[in-house]
């Protein structure tokens, strides 16, 4: 089973002021920065920031459907 401490979950999705731009709120467990996760899986990443120790958000150009509770794992060490 996948280690939940190494997974970030989509908490909410907000449409931004421009068409096809989304702000996605993420939450995770463990000692990670938001940049440690495979954010490209969500779409074309424009900006991201840690909000608290275990939360953050990312602005993406929508490339496919994203829904709350979608999960992403840590990026590969080779990335």
Q: Could you report the per-residue pLDDT of 12-50, keeping only the tens digit for each?
A: 999 876 888 999 999 999 889 999 999 988 889 999 999
Instruction: Return the structure tokens found at 39.
Output: 């954010």
**C-alpha distance from residue 20 to each of 1, 24, 57, 79 (Å):** 34, 12, 16, 26
pTM value > 0.95: no
pLDDT band at 2; cut points 50, 70, 90: low
- Residue 68 phi/psi, 5-degree rounding, is -55, 150
pLDDT at 28: 94
């Amino acid at each position: 089973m996948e280690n939940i401490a190494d997974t970030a979950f989509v908490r909410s999705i907000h449409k931004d002021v421009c068409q096809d731009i989304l702000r996605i709120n993420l939450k995770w467990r463990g000692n990670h920065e938001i940049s440690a996760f495979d954010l490209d899986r969500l779409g074309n990443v424009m900006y991201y920031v840690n909000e608290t120790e275990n939360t953050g958000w990312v602005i993406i150009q929508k490339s496919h459907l994203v829904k709350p509770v979608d999960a992403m794992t840590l990026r590969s060490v080779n990335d």
